Amino acid sequence: MIRTTTRQPAWQSLLLAGVAALALGACSGEAGKTDASKPADTAQASNVVQTDAGPVQAVERNGMRNWFAIPYAAPPVGALRWTPPSPAAHWTTPLANTASGSPCLQTSNSPFRSKGDSEDCLYLDVHAPASGAGPFPVMVWIHGGAFLTGASGDYADPSPLVSKGVIVVAMNYRMGAMGFLGDPSLAAEDGSVGDYGIMDQQAALRWVKTNIAAFGGDANNVTIFGESAGGFSVLTHLASPLSAGLFNKAIVESGAYGVNGQLTRDELEAKSRTAAEAAVKAAGADAGAACAGDKITADCLRGLPEAVVRDHLLTAFTTAVPSVIPSVDGKVLPQTIKATFDAGAENKVPVINGSNEDEYRLFLAISEMGARAAKSPPDTDPADKSFLMSPAIYAMSAKRLAGQAGVPAKTLTEKDYPLSAYGDDKSLQPSFASAAAATDSIFSCNGLNVSKKIAQEGSPVWMYEFRNQSAPPIVGVVDGKYQLALPQGAAHASEIPFVMNMTDLQTPENKDLQTAMSQYWVNFARTGDPNGEGVPEWPGFAKGSVQALDVASGGGVTSLDAAAFADQHKCGSVWSKLTF
């Protein structure tokens, strides 16, 4: 969740805004806590629903009926660590939870880490209209967080969607080493290993198929949607044969960032073994007798105390695999997502796919935030621009991207993204130029290529760009005051509060945009087409159009020429080597 916090986070270190830090996602630091626990909320006996494992009871809030912390699989602990999700145990007394379940184990130095994390985390929430006749279309939300952080509880108020007549389901899934470790000792009989977090998502989708009718939902009209790592998860389901038939439509929000970086199974196994050995060695005697002598076996790994997992394995894995994304495991993904689409073997459904105009500014804002916090006392004066990127650091950052473009870094900084092209404020120029280059190469052009491929394969696709420069900042607001020098603009994750209630949108224009965007999303969930009464026409990508999503004063919701979008983000020139 995006939260403009009213307290100063305790930053532990400077977060470098490099390619390896991508897709942190929009996740709150206070997951698992929702307004559903307020005394005014009362559960109604009529809101008891029978699932295949036992009864659950709702609380009513914000015009919704909310069922929290429903187990969709057994706790993945002990012998169930690093195995496909197993069925949840049955129960007889109605579960009357008033808050989301514990987040899955978190890692990384992200400011979006959710509190209260646990290995016992495979729960989902169901949010349904408080009145009206079903069956309602179903939207299943997959949270972001770089496959390292995040939780369903960060998205506990999808009322902008639900109020328009859909059911929203949000699930937790295993992340980091718990969800994507591929040590060879964990290989299944069929040889597959890793991608347990995606298997969790598939188990949640099967749960929806089996149970959602009891909540008033239409099991034959399911839309999966997610942002950042959640968006990449949606692309994974489009490619996975195990996800076939589990959904009918898909929305990818800023999810194309990793389509050229998936590991092979051999690469995953090698990196996972390196991580496991490092963790066991660091833990020493605490790793237990099963791991004596650095002997890594399935029993050793599944027997590691949770403290060892938290203190050693999670960090060792993200050190070995800095950018965690689903890999070619041989089961969930028999081949890369790219290869699957090239072969025309993807799950063909209607798709909305898009990105934000200033994606990478979020990561630079996080870096500035860390640098300010490192001062004693922390510097909170936005007029102090000394924490912004310098021209020298911009030149260094360009080296990370130059290889993708196949040009010298100097060409990027002097010809393609010269500082003089980014306004008159010299202190902001390096940040704006660096963010533009990273946004184009990591999000915009990969997203454009994904839309092209989907259209070529014959599936309907609608593409958007979120361009709202007045969107509330993702980070850096303390006690209502913005404490950073870098304007975040339409940064990574800034579109999420325009389809869910997550923060104060501050202006009537922003609220109008939320109304329009949530209506597009609901129209698409209902019919497979975002168009409908009350919203501007959204031409399909096959018509050469990208929909600009903006407030009226910024240009409004209108159609852009896809070729002009490609030119703006230099997709056909600087980043022409990127393919999908």
Which residue, among 11, 29, 34, 14, has the nearest Cα to 501 in the 3D structure?
Answer: 34
Helical residues (DSSP H) of 147-253, grouped into ranges: 159-162, 176-180, 196-211, 229-239
Distances in Å between the Cα of 490 and the Cα atoms of 214, 422, 430, 477 are 39, 16, 18, 16
Catalytic: which of 119, 253, 359, 368? 359
Catalytic: which of 114, 228, 254, 451? 228
Indicate the Cα dihedral angle 463, 466, 467, 468, nearest 10°: 150
- Could you give the angle at the alpha carbon of 560 between the alpha carbons of 556 and 565, nearest 5°? 120
445 touches 579 (CB < 8 A): no
Which residue, among 248, 173, 253, has the nearest Cα to 212 in the 3D structure?
Answer: 248
Round to whole Å and give the CA distance between 269 and 296: 13
Q: Which residues pair with 59 in a beta bridge?
A: 66
> CA-based diameter of the chain, in Å?
68
The answer to whether the bond into 350 is cis (omega within 30° of 0) is: no
Assess whether 228 carries a catalytic annotation: yes
Which residue, among 127, 120, 125, has the nearest Cα to 102 in the 3D structure?
Answer: 120
187 touches 205 (CB < 8 A): no
Active site residues: 228, 359
